[in-house]
Amino acid sequence: MTDADADGIRVASPAGRWVVLTTVLGSSMALLDSTVVNVALPRIGKDLGADLAGLQWTVNAYTLTLAGLILLGGALGDRFGRRRVFVLGVIWFAVASLLCGIAPNAATLVLARALQGIGGALLTPGSLAIIQASFHPDDRARAVGLWSGLGGVGAAVGPFLGGWLVDGPGWRWVFFINLPIAAVCVPVATRQVPESRDPRAHGRFDVLGAALAALALALITYALIEVPEQGASALVVGAAVGGVVLAAAFVRVERHRADPMVPPSIFASRQFTSVNIVTVCVYAALGGFFFLSAIQLQVVAGYSALGAGAALLPTTVLMLLFSASSGEIGRRIGPRIPLTVGSLLAAAGMLLMLRVGPGASYPLDVLPAVLVLGVGLVSLVAPLTASVLAAVETGRAGLASGVNNAAARAAGLLAVAALPLLAGMGPEAYRDAGEFASTFRRAMPICAGLLVAGAVIAWWSLRKVSKPGPEQQLACTMHCGVVAPPLEPEPESRHT
């Protein structure tokens, strides 16, 4: 084996650099879309004649399939080869991106976004699983550090790139930009990345569980998005009831399967359950905030797409610079104080966004809000993930991280669906600056209230937690070291 010893590749070797490059390119595709699509929403709505529900589905179709299938995607990589599934995911994602870019109407765009989510569920867990499987144990932390740092640069560049594309060649290039990335990633992965599998992976895949979870989320999301326009119609009520029934069926199936996707026994830990509830509160608030703020800055405050993307950049920069230090502080003092204080600070940042209106000054109105929000997220995100991983034995760290990641994405999905309903936004609200501004003022306190609820749960339910071991610390770095919303689940193999 060239450039490697019996235990794996070294980071400093040519092979190691190729593996890092490949994983960064693959994960950057999904990361870029998560950071730039929100900025493009007003222009997408105008060009395709979409109402607010169409914009919600543009975001949620991707999140829906990604959240519902990401655990299954990781299991497929363990069984059939991580490189193989990763490459398939990159190709799938690129083809779906092409369909997004040429979509003639909103319905086609939503369908293509759902296909993108499937590709994301295949490539997302694979990028870090490849690092875990390929590198020498002594070099894994360094490899993940390189991945996180380069990914952080991509997260920082994303809003500028997205805004420039929307204001320049057009919003369709937000999706077309994935094609050259994939064109480089696929041949490099095929030639330079070693294949790996988990020899312990056996049994049947929990396809039924994944399908039930995705369908339950889809029906509930549909009911929440459509009720403002259709009211309590038979279709909306039927979707809501069907979603609840399928969710109950998912719980029942997972309790009785020999190899469940989400083993109920993992929730026997009070800390694991509590931290996942806090995760739902936090990422529901963040999902709603980032969805609505990008529209508020453009429609109400009059910012360009580039200006709106750049306006929220300080939050990403703070996360990039200080999350590692925050994780170390959380390791020393436990998660209770960081989760409580961080949630309250993030809530304060969202309330400060109420100052953003027509003609808002960036240094006086927008910047204080995003700085306070960023400080709250720095205090919160890394200890949140570390406490999830410390709540389970090391052998289940990958499963715990994947469950937490799926919970976070599902929370953001439901928030984007429910928040306009709760705030009283009509189907055409984003076309009218006055109407959107008034509903935005009702939405931000709801987001802040979710964070306060998370703070209360954290303070009440979390006491002292044991220090995470090396693998758990590594998983924390992988899971939350770059930017919110959370990144890929930790790649440790799990029993499927």
Radius of gyration of the chain measured on its C-alpha atoms: 21
Report how far apart the first and last C-alpha atoms of the chain are (Å, whole number): 30
Closest CA to 401 of 156, 130, 134, 128: 128
**Contact call for residues 319 and 327 (beta carbons, < 8 A):** no
Q: pLDDT digit string (tens) for 92-105? A: 999 999 999 999 99
Mean pLDDT of the chain: 84
Are 276 and 392 in contact by the 8 Å Cβ rule? The answer is: no
What's residue 175's pLDDT? 94
Instruction: Report how far Cα 332 is from the mean position of its chain's Cα atoms.
Output: 27
Examine the pLDDT at 321 and tell me if it is beyond 90: no
Find out whether 279 and 388 touch, Cβ atoms under 8 Å.
Answer: yes
- Answer with the residue of higher pLDDT: 468 or 271: 271
Return the SS3 of 135.
strand
Q: What is the pLDDT of residue 472?
A: 41
Question: What pLDDT, on a 0 to 100 scale, did the predictor assign at position 92?
Answer: 97
Comparing 181-190, 298-307, 332-341, 379-388, the range with the smallest average pLDDT is 379-388
Q: Which DSSP category does 5 fall into? A: E
DSSP secondary structure string for all residues of 152-207: HHHHHHHHHHHHHHHHTT-TTHHHHTHHHHHHHHHHHHHHHSPP---TT--S---H
Among 44-48, 69-73, 243-247, 302-306, the least confident range: 69-73
2, pLDDT greater than 60: no
Note whether 429 and 52 are within 8 A (CB): yes
Distance CA 302, CA 360 (A): 8
Q: Retrieve residue 318's tokens.
A: 């703070």
Rounded CA-CA distance 235/227 in Å is 10
Mean pLDDT calculated for residue range 347-375: 94
136 vs 16: CA distance, rounded Å: 10
Distance of CA 334 to the CA centre of its chain: 25
CB contact at 8 A, 284 and 415: yes
With cut-offs at 50, 70 and 90, classify the pLDDT of residue 489.
Answer: very low
Interval 191-208 mean pLDDT = 79
Cα 58 from chain centroid?
15
At 463, is the secondary structure helix, strand, or coil?
Answer: coil
User: What gap in Å lies between CA 203 and CA 302, rounded to an integer?
Assistant: 55
For the record, the structure tokens of 53 come out as: 């529900």
Q: Which residue has the tokens 């050259």?
A: 180
Phi, psi dihedrals of residue 395, rounded to the nearest 5°: -65, -15
- Tell me: the pLDDT tens digits for 209-228? 889 999 999 999 999 999 88
Among residues 177, 266, 204, 257, which one has the least CA distance to residue 72?
204
pLDDT value at 490 more than 60: no
Cα separation, 374 vs 342, in Å, equals 9
- What are 322's two structure tokens? 């200080």
How, if at all, do strands 8-9 and 4-5 pair?
antiparallel
Whether the upstream peptide bond of residue 485 has omega within 30° of 0, thus cis, is yes
Q: How many CB atoms lie within 10 A of CB 1?
A: 9
- In this prediction, residue 464 carries a pLDDT of 52
30 and 124 Cβ atoms separated by less than 8 Å: yes
Q: Which two tokens stand for residue 231?
A: 């009211």
* Its pTM surpasses 0.95: no
At residue 132, does pLDDT exceed 50?
yes
C-alpha 266 chain-centroid distance: 22
The band of 201, judged by pLDDT with boundaries at 50, 70 and 90, is: low
Secondary structure of 337-403 in HEC code, one letter for each residue: HHHHHHHHHHHHHHHHHHHCCCCCCHHHHHHHHHHHHHHHHHHHHHHHHHHHHHCCCHHHHHHHHHH
DSSP 482: S
The answer to whether residue 487 scores a pLDDT higher than 50 is no
Mean pLDDT throughout 335-349?
Answer: 94
